[in-house]
Structure 1
């Protein structure tokens, strides 16, 4: 089993992973702006969310940016597309500022 680290630079790519492999997705987020990264649609059944967290970049700076970290594990063979959006949920789809998508082939 291995851990795969992904960032915004990986959007649009395809990764081959194995059952039991971990995926750590690190996306920059300014939570004080109200914008958050959220899964767009459903989490593919081949993946399981194991943990989510937010990590400040520079200590406890007020208004500072940080990283939204999603930890996933491949639990089933198949092809899966993971899609996320960076938005203000209460403002709806018009507030989407960025998107992340990646395809997994799980063997």
Structure 2
């Protein structure tokens, strides 16, 4: 489900309301356009303008040792922050991993995130999230 929201009006998805984490606090009250992607959007293409944000929210259960990380990086779509918000107050449960990216310059970016145990290497990858960001000048 691809959602666009103006941050001045608050988070744009139910997931954002149930597990906001510190990223929601960072963006609270700012009137910046933000595009939100979830697991269902893997493989999609999004259009952004320079200065807009991309927020990717993916389910994660850190106690299993598996964590989402970005492969590579570039200067067109810059990772601003990553945060985990537990689904409940109990220990050991899952929640949402949020990645906040800023569109810094025009270009086409292939975003790739993988769910894996970093210390076990590529053979431990259990899921890959991909998206193409077409970043346009303001």
What interval of TM-score do these two structures reach, taking the shorter chain for normalisation?
over 0.9
TM-score by length of 2: 0.73
Are 1:56 and 2:86 matched, yes or no? yes
- Among 83, 87, 107, which residue is 1:78 paired with? 107
Alpha-carbon contact 1:52-1:68 (below 8 Å) kept = yes
Q: What residue in structure 2 maps to residue 19 of structure 1? A: 50
Q: How many residues align?
A: 105
Over aligned residue pairs, what C-alpha RMSD do you find?
0.9
Greater share of residues in strand: 1
Report the alpha carbon displacement of residue 62 of structure 1 after superposing the two structures with TM.
2.0
Structure 1 stretches of 5 or more lacking a match? none
Greater share of residues in helix: 2
Are 1:9 and 2:58 matched, yes or no? no
Structure 1 ranges of 4+ moved more than 3 A: none
> Which structure exhibits the higher relative contact order, with contacts defined as CA atoms closer than 8 Å and separated by 6 or more residues?
1
Question: 1: distance between equivalents of 2:119 and 2:107?
Answer: 34
Q: Give secondary structure in 2 for the equivalent of 1:45.
A: coil
Structure 2 stretches of 5 or more lacking a match? 1-31
Alpha-carbon contact 1:85-1:98 (below 8 Å) kept = yes
